[in-house]
Amino acid sequence: MDVLVTGGAGFIGSNFVRYLLDTGDDSVVTLDVLTYAGSRDNLAGYLDHPNHRFVEGDIRDRELVDDLVADADVIVNFAAESHVDRSIGGAEPFVSTNVQGTQTLLDAALDADIDRFLQISTDEVYGEIHEGNFTED
């Protein structure tokens, strides 16, 4: 299976990429713009893996996304601006990446007849837990 992992140089995404490469024979393309949250160092030891290709780029770049999606069976989107405190100081990068970038990926997936698209998020969508535990029930 050919898997496109966006945001794959961040903490969570890079662990997922390493898991895929360690446990299967999937071909993995990692797309990451390498902002404050992503680093090639997170993929140390995997950048030269025979089943892995790293692409530095932005999920908002439709031409690039189309090229990468053309060879994918599955898209797993970890790419996002995060950290709520940063969004308070300036919402534009959050809207641009998290909404418009995801829309670019979805449109490309639709045009390429990709039927498996996994959208990943973090605990920040729930807000703070002041006491006790949280469940999705």
Q: Where are the domains of the chain?
A: 2-104
CATH code reported for the domain at 2-104 = 3.40.50.720
Cite the DSSP H helix spans in 10-134.
11-23, 62-69, 84-89, 92-94, 102-111
Residue-wise burial string across 53-74, b where 16 or more C-beta atoms lie within 10 A, e elsewhere:
ebeebbbbebebbeebbeebeb
Instruction: Report pTM.
Output: 0.88
* pLDDT per residue of the chain (137 residues) written in tens, 0 to 9: 999 999 999 999 999 999 999 998 999 999 999 988 899 999 999 999 999 999 999 999 999 999 999 999 999 999 987 766 676 777 677 667 877 999 999 999 999 999 999 999 876 666 677 777 767 77
